[in-house]
Amino acid sequence: MKLPAFFIAHGSPLLALEDNEYTRFLERLGADLGTPRGIVVFSAHWDSPEQLITVDGQHETLHDFYGFPYEMYSLTYPAPGDPALSRRISELFTTNNLPHQPVLGRGLDHGIWVILKKMFPAADIPVVALSVDSLRSPEEQYNIGKMLAPLRDEGILLIGSGGLVHNLRLLKQDDQPEQWALDFDAWIADGLTAWDLPSLFAYEKRAPHVRDAVPTYGREHFVPIFYVMGTADEGRRAQLMIQAYQYGTLSLNCWMVD
């Protein structure tokens, strides 16, 4: 069965410990998806000018954050890798003339394991992590995702993990979203629903409050949306599954594309 693909905001690492509307949504989503043959994640926390692919047979858990409760550093997500799936991805990139490199021993960053721990807590589904390049053009990012579209017909769940509104320098003490964050998310939602690639590709010039929502130091959290959209270029359908906020300036949203 052909699987949809998803953009999933990973928010604060504390989501791994929390029980709220968004974490319960992720739990339901995982249950609804059943057991994919494998999971491939474009992670905002792996930003590289070269396309990188994990090739491990077994992943370690990266605690790539600081200043959090001790309990966070004891959490693990010992998911297996899938070297055969990594080779399949390499074949697709090679066919499309995309230079890429295998990486052994990186581990899964929190942008990956925090959401997967909620969706698939048993950690028994193979995971392959892919880097993003925040300096590529949106069109290039979209086309890289498009290269992996065949995987959706092969039982593979494709995810882009990041955050559409992600500004750590403007965090608040409460979760009430700032109006500019709402306006930006609404503009993105209009573009996704209409699959308006010209507007979305020009988001840095057209989107309202773009410098607050996607600061230059945090562009890597936004770009996974383009990678995952590319995997659904054939159908070009997008559906907002949930919209919530943390600390006023972190949007927690999940978009399904098909």
Print pLDDT tens along the chain (258 aa): 899 999 999 999 999 999 999 999 999 999 999 999 999 999 999 999 999 999 999 999 999 999 999 999 999 999 999 999 999 999 999 999 999 999 999 999 999 999 999 999 999 999 999 999 999 999 999 999 999 999 999 999 999 999 999 998 888 888 899 999 999 999 999 999 999 999 999 999 999 999 999 999 999 999 999 999 999 999 999 999 999 999 999 999 999 999
Report the alpha-carbon angle 26-121-146, nearest 5.
60
Phi/psi for 183 (5° steps) reads -65, -40
Q: Is-contact 158 5, C-beta < 8 A?
A: yes
CA-nearest of 86, 85, 122 to 104 is 86
The CATH number covering residue 82 comes to: 3.40.830.10
Phi/psi for 4 (5° steps) reads -70, 170
Structure-token pair, residue 75: 């959490």
At 242 the pLDDT is 98
Structure-token pair, residue 122: 């048993």
**Beta bridge pairs of residue 256:** 6, 239
Number of independent structural domains in the chain: 1
At 174 the pLDDT is 87
The one-letter amino acid at 160: G
78: Cβ contacts below 8 Å, ≥ 6 apart: 58, 59, 60, 61, 123
Question: Domain range for residue 246?
Answer: 5-257
